[in-house]
């Protein structure tokens, strides 16, 4: 499965900006407005996002290519959200609603 770092390294400038925006949704210090991103958490949440997309895709499609399609959809998701001001990471929201 592709990592957020690989997406950043292989992506266009728009993709890189989307990855940086996703990272900014995971600050190391929640109180600081300009805190450095917690890339470990952002990476983990990106992986969970791909897994959620794969889980949903597996319900109606054959498994061949599911991982690659889910990775592409996750990148498209990041690109779409990068234009939305102050969006919240869906994995963070889900975790707060249903803590582990």
Phi/psi of residue 37, each to 5°?
-65, 150
Phi/psi of residue 57, each to 5°?
-65, -35
Residues 71-91: tens digit of each pLDDT: 999 999 999 998 888 888 989
Predicted structure pTM score: 0.84
- CA–centroid distance for 91 within its chain: 8
Round to whole Å and give the CA distance between 27 and 72: 25
Query: Can you give the pLDDT at residue 100?
Result: 47
Query: Can you give the pLDDT at residue 95?
Result: 76
State mean pLDDT over 32-56.
Answer: 88
18-22, 62-66, 82-86, range with the lowest pLDDT? 62-66
Of residues 55 and 14, more confidently modeled: 14
């Amino acid at each position: 499965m592709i990592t957020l770092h690989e997406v950043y390294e292989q992506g266009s400038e728009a993709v890189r900006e989307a990855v940086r925006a996703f990272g900014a949704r995971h600050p190391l210090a929640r109180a600081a407005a300009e805190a450095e991103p917690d890339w470990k958490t952002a990476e983990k949440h990106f992986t969970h996002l791909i897994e959620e997309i794969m889980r949903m895709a597996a319900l109606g499609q054959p498994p061949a290519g599911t991982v690659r399609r889910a990775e592409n959809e996750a990148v498209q998701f990041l690109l779409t959200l990068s234009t939305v001001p102050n969006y919240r990471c869906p994995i963070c929201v889900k975790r707060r609603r249903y803590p582990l």
